């Protein structure tokens, strides 16, 4: 998984929209395994990707939301660990994606 961008989202809890390219077959990709180690927490308490949305399925281009993203730790994905780039402002081309409070 390649992270194309990380964008802070206005929400009650810290949250980011993460833009990625998934290189494996999306039908076999397990979004529930996109996570980040929660220091001192058991695995079942770690945050995971949610509300994943396709941007361009044929190219493996997706976005998802992630709460409490620790920018100093990699994301753990079915494709391996992925370093998180510095957050930037949400690009206009993604502003149609709406965040809904869980």
Domain extent, residue 15, equals 2-68
Strands (E), the chain: 2-9, 15-21, 50-56, 61-67, 75-77, 80-82
Cβ atoms of 102 and 23 within 8 Å: the answer is no
In a domain, residue 25? The reply is yes
In a domain, residue 75? The reply is no
In a domain, residue 6? The reply is yes
**Count of positions (residues) in the chain:** 102
What pTM value is reported for the model? 0.93
Token representation of residue 62: 């997706």
pLDDT score at 38: 86
In a domain, residue 49? The reply is yes
In a domain, residue 80? The reply is no
18-77 pLDDT, tens digit per residue, is 999 999 998 899 999 999 998 888 988 899 999 999 999 999 999 999 999 999 999 999
Total domains, the chain: 1
Bridge partner list, 50: 65
pLDDT score at 48: 95
Token representation of residue 25: 């077959």
In a domain, residue 91? The reply is no
* pLDDT bucket at 91, cuts 50 / 70 / 90: very high
């Amino acid at each position: 998984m390649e992270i194309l961008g990380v964008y802070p989202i206005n929400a009650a809890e810290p949250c980011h929209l993460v833009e990625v390219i998934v290189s494996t077959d999306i039908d076999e990709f397990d979004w529930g395994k996109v996570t980040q180690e929660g220091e001192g927490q058991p695995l079942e308490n770690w945050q995971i990707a949610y509300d994943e949305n396709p941007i361009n399925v044929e190219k493996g281009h997706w976005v998802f939301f992630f709460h409490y993203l620790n920018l100093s730790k990699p994301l753990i994905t079915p494709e391996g660990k992925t370093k998180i780039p510095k957050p930037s402002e949400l690009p206009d081309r993604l502003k149609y994606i709406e965040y809904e409070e869980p």
